[in-house]
């Protein structure tokens, strides 16, 4: 800075100043470009995650086409089974809450029994891929347990709740199996509530 002001001619001083000016402008342009670039980077949309990844399923292996077909077919039956199961529990609750008598309980469980019968027949018709044979057998055993549970509920008579307790034990076992199978075939079936 001292050399520039003390030991140079006015023409050289002007040239040096001109070069400095160009340098300053260039630096300003570079800084602007850098700022704009960073700003754009910040604004860039976050990469869209597939829904499965957002919910933490990313590390699950995909189902094969055969497995997918089976899962889809069983889902239709599962809908029927699940709803019938919850209805059956509620009939038991209605009885325990004094809203219906045992005779009415038996009458109202009857159509639910038929639903389980038909669901079991539907499941038997399905041909699972070899990799899902054990799962298929488990699901069928769950539906069979529901069938037995509904029969036990219909058999409840008098003051004793023994039949109802036996039925509830079976249906809870079946419900546990439903969850287990569901987690393999239909991950994310239960959402945060």
Partner 1 sequence: MKKKLALGLAAFGMVAGLGATTAQAQSVCSVWLVENSRFMGVPFGMFHPDRSFVQGSTNARNNVNTVDLPVNVGVIKCGKDVILYDNGWNATDYHKMTGTGHWSPLSKQIAQIGIDAKDVSKIIIGHGHWDHAGSLDEFPNAMLYVQKEELKGIEWALNYPGHERIRAVNTSPGGCSRTPACGYTPKTVDQIYGKVLRGMAVIVDGDMEIMPGVKIHAAHRAHTAGSQLLEVNTAIGKLMFGSDAYSSWEAIRDWEVANVQQTDSVQQFLAYEKCYKVTGGFQNCVAAHEPLSYSDKYPLTKNSWVGMNGGRLAEITLAPGETSRKPK
CA–CA distance, 127 with 182 (Å, rounded to integer): 18
Which is nearest to 91 in space by CA: 173, 184, 167, 5? 167
Phi, psi for residue 57 in degrees, rounded to 5: -95, 5
Residue with tokens 């029927």: 80
Among 1, 59, 65, 130, binds partner 1 (CB under 8 A): 59
Q: What is the DSSP letter of 97?
A: T
Find the shortest distance in angstroms from Cβ 38 to partner 1: 14
- Does 35 sit near partner 1 (CB under 8 A)? no
Residues 77-96 that bind partner 1 (CB under 8 A): 78-79, 82-83, 85-87, 89-90, 92-94, 96
Could you say whether residue 19 binds partner 1 (CB under 8 A)? no
Give the Cα separation of 80 and 85 in Å (integer).
Answer: 9
What are 118's two structure tokens?
Answer: 């038909």
User: With respect to partner 1, which residue has the nearer C-beta, 23 or 166?
Assistant: 166
Contacts with partner 1, residue ranges (CB under 8 A): 43, 45-46, 54-57, 59-60, 75, 78-79, 82-83, 85-87, 89-90, 92-94, 96-97, 161, 164-165, 168-169, 171-172, 174-176, 178-180, 183-184, 187-193
């Amino acid at each position: 800075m001292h050399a520039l002001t003390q030991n140079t001619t006015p023409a050289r001083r002007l040239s040096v100043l001109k070069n400095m000016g160009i340098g300053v402008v260039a630096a300003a342009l570079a800084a602007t470009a850098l700022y704009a670039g960073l700003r754009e980077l910040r604004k860039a949309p976050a990469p869209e995650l597939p829904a499965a990844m957002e919910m933490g399923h990313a590390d699950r292996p995909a189902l094969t086409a055969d497995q997918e077909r089976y899962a889809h077919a069983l889902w239709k039956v599962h809908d029927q089974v699940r709803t019938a199961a919850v209805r059956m529990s509620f009939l038991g609750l209605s009885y325990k809450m004094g809203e219906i008598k045992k005779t009415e309980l038996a009458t109202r469980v009857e159509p639910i029994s038929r639903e389980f019968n038909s669901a079991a027949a539907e499941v038997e018709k399905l041909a699972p891929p070899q990799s899902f044979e054990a799962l298929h057998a488990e699901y069928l055993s769950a539906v069979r347990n529901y069938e037995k549970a509904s029969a036990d509920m219909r058999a409840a008579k008098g003051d004793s709740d023994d039949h109802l307790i036996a039925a509830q034990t079976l249906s809870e076992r079946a419900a546990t199996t439903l969850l287990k199978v569901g987690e393999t075939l239909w991950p994310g079936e239960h959402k945060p509530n």
